[in-house]
Amino acid sequence: MAKKDIAVVILNWNGRALLEKFLPSVLMHSESAAIYVADNASTDDSVSFLKTNYPSIKIIQNQENGGYAKGYNDALKQVDEDILCLLNSDIEVTKDWLLPIIAIFNAQPETAIIQPKILDFKNKDYFEYAGAGGGFIDKFGYPYCRGRIFDTIEKDLGQYNDTTPIFWASGACFFIRKSVFDKLNGFDESFFAHMEEIDLCWRANNHGFTTTYVGTSTVYHVGGATLNNTNPKKTYLNFRNSLFTLTKNAPNHLFLLIFTRLILDGLASLKFLTSFKFAHIMAILKAHASFYSGLPQLLKKRRLLSQNISTVAPTKYYQVQSIVWLYYVKNQKKF
């Protein structure tokens, strides 16, 4: 069988129910792609379910559950299609969803990473938290999206049906050229899960590559199927990994940025305090402790990345100084 141009790779960990529900749409609407399931050492019957019901799907069996980052790094070594689609197992795709993506990759050689429009599977008229209409970060590393700023979600009225450069693409549905993924040495495995895609997009940006949002391709994401927003572990990973990303990639005045960011994280803890979410306060404290203990290694990574950076000048990584200030003080709730 001839090699296809694009591989759809679904990372699975004990997600037999999700595979059973969402694989049919992927198979129905992805005729031009090779379909893989990369299993992260599941202990349920995911693999036997796939072998019995979907013999055409290529199964990659990782030896351990290394989370999103290591899981994909290990699996993608066994995938050789030119374009990779990293697809969450809780996503429903739509008819012809791949066609606009392939067209942009063919027309724009500088585009290395693409995200489609991500809507909420449970409320299909609204954007989904993880990615929405394309991602950005502020000067202090806080992420936000077109269609979603903090907990404010916009209704899809066609306002983001465009094709436009963004700063980061959601890991829920993340397209990347295999050559670029390999050049950047994949995801940083110390992240385990959450925000590793922002780190990868930032590194791509620093090498002169472009990340693009394609609003004419639509998928529906359940969101939180593995770890939902109310889970303190997600708070821990998001705060810790955001600090990791900022330390590795921010170009100038690093320690002033980090100092300001730590103050802002303290204010976030006060917000959790007012709503009696004490486990989330502990999660932020643990995130900071992990950050401090890992700082020497992060600074080493920063030096190595700066040595290998492209001669192409990267674009500025932020559009606004502080999304926290705009959202909570200026009451700006939309992009």
Say whether both 85 and 190 belong to one domain: yes
Say whether both 316 and 257 belong to one domain: yes
Domain of 285 in residue numbering reads as: 232-329
Neighbours of 278 (CB within 10 A): 12
Say whether both 131 and 255 belong to one domain: no
CB within 8 A of 145, min separation 6: which ones?
127, 131, 132, 133, 134, 135, 136, 170, 335
Do the Cβ atoms of 39 and 13 come closer than 8 Å?
yes
Does any domain span residue 66?
yes
Question: For residue 334, what pLDDT is reported?
Answer: 92
Torsional sign, CA 191, 193, 194, 200: positive
Does any domain span residue 65?
yes
Say whether both 215 and 247 belong to one domain: no
Q: What is the pLDDT along the chain (335 residues), one digit of tens a residue?
A: 457 899 999 999 999 999 999 999 999 999 999 999 999 999 999 999 999 999 999 999 999 999 999 999 999 999 999 999 999 999 999 999 999 999 999 999 999 999 999 999 999 999 999 999 999 999 999 999 999 999 899 999 999 999 999 999 999 999 999 999 999 999 999 998 889 999 999 999 999 999 999 999 999 999 865 555 678 998 999 999 999 999 999 988 899 999 999 999 988 888 888 888 889 999 999 999 999 999 999 999 999 998 877 656 566 899 999 999 999 899 999 99
Do the Cβ atoms of 213 and 160 come closer than 8 Å?
yes
- Among the candidates 156, 191, 221, a domain finishes at 221
Does any domain span residue 335?
no
- Among the candidates 180, 202, 221, a domain finishes at 221
Dist CA 133 CA 141 (whole Å):
18
Question: For residue 313, what pLDDT is reported?
Answer: 59
Question: For residue 316, what pLDDT is reported?
Answer: 81
Say whether both 191 and 304 belong to one domain: no
Does any domain span residue 226?
no
What value, to the nearest 5°, has the Cα angle with vertex 283 and ends 281 and 287? 120
- Among the candidates 173, 200, 221, a domain finishes at 221
Say whether both 187 and 290 belong to one domain: no
Does any domain span residue 76?
yes
Say whether both 137 and 283 belong to one domain: no
Does any domain span residue 156?
yes
Letter string b/e over residues 69-104, b meaning 16 or more CB atoms within 10 A of that residue's CB: bbbbbbbbeebebebbbbbbbbbbbbeebbebbbeb
Say whether both 260 and 286 belong to one domain: yes
CA distances to 14, 78, 140, 322 from 261, in Å: 36, 39, 6, 10
Closest CA to 27 of 77, 83, 91, 79: 91
* Widest distance between CA atoms in the chain: 60
Say whether both 280 and 158 belong to one domain: no
Dist CA 227 CA 194 (whole Å):
10
Closest CA to 31 of 120, 105, 116, 96: 96
Does any domain span residue 50?
yes
For residue 24, give the CATH number of its domain: 3.90.550.10
Closest CA to 35 of 74, 84, 1: 84
pTM: 0.93
Say whether both 213 and 258 belong to one domain: no
Does any domain span residue 334?
no
Counted domains in the chain: 2
Say whether both 167 and 302 belong to one domain: no
